[in-house]
Amino acid sequence: MATAYALPIKTAAALFPLLALLLLLPTAVTLYRRHGVMSPGRTLSLYGFLYYLLTAYCMTIVPLPKQTADMCRRFAMVAHPQWVPGNTFSDIWKEAHHKIGLNALVLQNPAVAGTVFNLLLLLPLGVFLRYHFRRSLPAAAAIGLAISLSFELTQWTGVWGLYSCPYRLFDVDDLIVNTSGAVIGWLLAGPVARMLPALEMLDGRALAARPVPFGRRLTALVVDVAGYVVASVFTAAVMIHQDGSAPTWMLVGIFVAWFVLLPLATGATPGKRLLLLKLVADDGGPLVAWRLTLRALLIGALMMPFLAGLFLAVLTLLNEPYPSGLFATVRDSGTQGAAAILMALSPTQLLAVMVGFTLTAVCVRKTLRHPDRLAPHDRVSGIRNATLPHRRAVLAAARGAGQAADRAPLPVARADAEAPAAAPGRPVATLVTTGPGPAKDQGSAANSR
């Protein structure tokens, strides 16, 4: 049984680094917009959830069968879904060979082992949904049912059409057991969550230490550079299609518009706006064009050699004549492949790549060593980043305003309003106003004395 689960776990471990790299930028954008910080605790929790979910899916589809002409005949017994609840008990009785005993019915019964596995499969999901995502028990049950249904549909459709017929059984009992596992995980997460620090507390500590996190600014810069490259490529493609060429000034114009004109008009580049950042002057005054231009030139000096080196490297690899045996060497792993790519570059191109990497490394080092984590272009231009409220802060402020409104006192009656009649043996409480201050209850004051 353990050997059958080794291959799915190895497959998930091999795929996870690529998945983590692909999801790094959208994950960073989501966390910074929602929480204002990408704290190590929350990041570890989120990537742990992604790795678990990838492993769970691999458990349900791996190993993949070999595609053969008689595949549908070999898997004919699982071609139709099992819609009868409780069929698992029949499988347990059948695997026990109709014998009553602890070993036959439980310890050595593969049907019991499969049911326990299905129960444990989504148990971590319930823990994550309660601790990381703060979902309620009904929400955890619904999400567990939806993910279990996706497992079963993936199996029933032959991995969504990859195979001409299913190779695993769609069983309604699996839906019930998987969902029960998610519910049990949610219930068990209560004591676990009390032992672990709250993610909101970890976020608050990180924000208190660095109100404008370096990673948040770096993510905004990556988004801006990617947006600039995409806009430049798209514009160049349109101009080449219409006029047959794309002038150099087009790249400069897009750069100026992206990093100077848009911040001058809106206070932020598109990447900073996405990451809820804005540019402010050190002296508190408005942004001026020459400071933004100086800042943009410094950013360009840092990133343009790097981008140019990568661009020339791609052109070298994509255009003929190819260096002799290049791709045969690139296919080999290790230093030989890297050496082949470097040998394909001319000295000038290689120097551009090295200069770009060096400038980037120096800029990052100087930024991290500065007490306020200000980058060189921030200090020279006199323009720095400031944060806009992230989503959790906005929601917290809205809840605080609502609670304050609920606690607000009712309007005080006028002093000359008709006082209520006194109850027998009890003094009349009259309202006494003293200037602009709040009205005082004279009867209550007398009683307190």
Mean pLDDT of 76-99: 79
Residue predicted with more confidence, 210 or 352:
210
Q: At what angle do helices 2-35 and 214-243 cross, to 10 degrees?
A: 90
23: Cβ–Cβ under 8 A, 6 or more apart, which residues?
A: 50
The three-state secondary structure class of 253 is helix
* Residue 356 placed within a domain: yes
CB 38 within 8 A of CB 28: yes
Provide, rounded to the nearest whole percent, the portion of the chain with pLDDT above 90. Answer: 28
State residue 291's pLDDT score. 93
Do residues 186 and 227 both lie within one domain? no
Output the pLDDT for position 205. 86
Q: What angle do CA 417, 420, 421 make, to 5 degrees?
A: 140
**97 φ/ψ angles, rounded to the nearest 5 degrees:** 55, 35
Q: How confident is the model at residue 54 (pLDDT cuts 50, 70, 90)?
A: very high
Per the domain annotation, does 117 fall within a domain? Answer: yes
**Cα 433 from Cα 281, distance rounded (Å):** 49
User: What pLDDT does 307 receive?
Assistant: 62
pLDDT at 53: 93
d(CA 305, CA 437): 67
Q: Is residue 312 domain-resident?
A: yes
Based on the fold, state whether residues 149 and 229 are members of the same structural domain: no
State the SS3 of 39-53. Answer: CHHHHHHHHHHHHHH
In whole angstroms, give the CA distance from residue 141 to residue 177.
Answer: 11
Establish if 440 belongs to a structural domain: no
Domain total for the chain? 2
Q: What is the pLDDT of residues 129-151, one digit of tens each?
A: 998 888 999 999 999 999 999 99
pLDDT value of residue 352: 64
Helices (H), 244-390: 248-256, 262-266, 270-274, 289-318, 326-330, 335-344, 347-369, 376-381
For residue 87, which of 172, 164, 18, 167 has the smallest C-alpha distance? 172
Residue 345 pLDDT > 60: no
Q: Contact, 114 vs 127, CB < 8 A?
A: no
pLDDT tier for residue 448 given thresholds of 50, 70 and 90:
very low
The position carrying tokens 């519910």 is 183
Give yes or no: residues 48 and 89 share one domain.
yes
Considering the domain architecture, whether residues 196 and 249 belong to the same structural domain is answered as: no
- What per-residue confidence (pLDDT) applies to 341? 53
Name, in order, each residue with C-beta under 8 angstroms of 8's C-beta and a sequence gap of 6 or more. 55, 58, 59, 62, 63
Tokens 């989501």 belong to 30
Q: Give the domain range for residue 170.
A: 2-66+78-205
Domain boundary among the residues 205, 228, 247 is at 205
Interatomic CA distance for residues 197 and 409, integer angstroms: 37
The reply to whether 71 falls in a domain is: no
**Residue 263 and residue 250: Cα distance in Å, rounded?**
19
Q: Which residue has the higher pLDDT, 36 or 359?
A: 36
Range with the lowest mean pLDDT among 188-197, 349-358, 386-395? 349-358
> Mind listing the pLDDT tens digit for each residue in 173-197?
999 999 999 999 999 998 887 888 8
- Tell me the pairing of strands 440-441 and 383-387: unpaired
HSE-CB of 319 using CA atoms within 13 angstroms: 7
Domain boundary among the residues 205, 237, 255 is at: 205
